[in-house]
Amino acid sequence: MAEHAVLLMLALARDLRGFLQDQVERRWRFLADERPMAQLFEKTIAILGVGVIGGNLAQICKLGFGMRVLGMTRTRRDNPHVDRYFDRAALHTALGEADVVALCLALTPMTERIIDQAALAAMKPTAYLVNVARGGLVDEEALIEALRAGCIGGAGLDATAVEPLPAECPLWALPNVIITPHVAPARDRLNEHLVDFWCQNIRCFAEHAPLPGLVGRHAGY
């Protein structure tokens, strides 16, 4: 999922959608056309949800792109690749610093529509929103308006409020949006890793050891 988040980040920054359309039309557009291209190197990313997935994304961004990493998490704050942690009260401040906002959160009553109209207004007009978690984390109508008005630079969405995304949804047609059909968790060895995880849990249970991946009923994940 962290890899897929990086895919969406790069696709937005490097105008992959535009290049693919040019390829279909057999059109060669060079730098003179002032393509909307940016770099991730030394930019700032705000990761909402620095758990296993968000933690992996923090490592990739810090070591691979030299990015400044801001992280929001409910519990642990020991990831060495996060430059600064922030809490919910400081969310809008962090959003205003970020060139990329990545959603790696679980969807709970506390996080539902955490990216609302006010959050989007706090973001830079050049910033990208990337969601590889749950569509309910975003107020989709507010996002559409923000994208249309140029309040943010673009969005990479692997999760939407309604799935499959209805054909009439305006997100499909917006030029600064990249949509993938909730495939971020998919990989070629997914089943193998799932079996390994189950076996690890069975061994821990048999040995009366702490179980990995426990769900907190009160937290909701």
User: Do β-strands 128-131 and 100-103 pair in parallel, antiparallel, or remain unpaired?
Assistant: parallel
In Å, what is the CA distance from 197 to each residue of 132, 190, 200? 21, 11, 5
182 annotated active-site:
yes
68 is catalytic: no
Residue range 105-159, pLDDT digits in tens: 999 999 999 999 999 999 999 999 999 999 999 999 999 999 999 999 999 999 9
Choose the catalytic residue: 4, 74, 81, 134. Answer: 134
Global pTM?
0.92
Query: Measured on CA atoms in the order 159, 162, 167, 168, is the torsion positive or negative?
Result: negative
Span 84-107, pLDDT tens digits: 999 999 999 999 999 999 999 999
Q: Exactly one of 3, 141, 163, 192 is catalytic; name it.
A: 163
Q: Is 208 a catalytic residue?
A: no
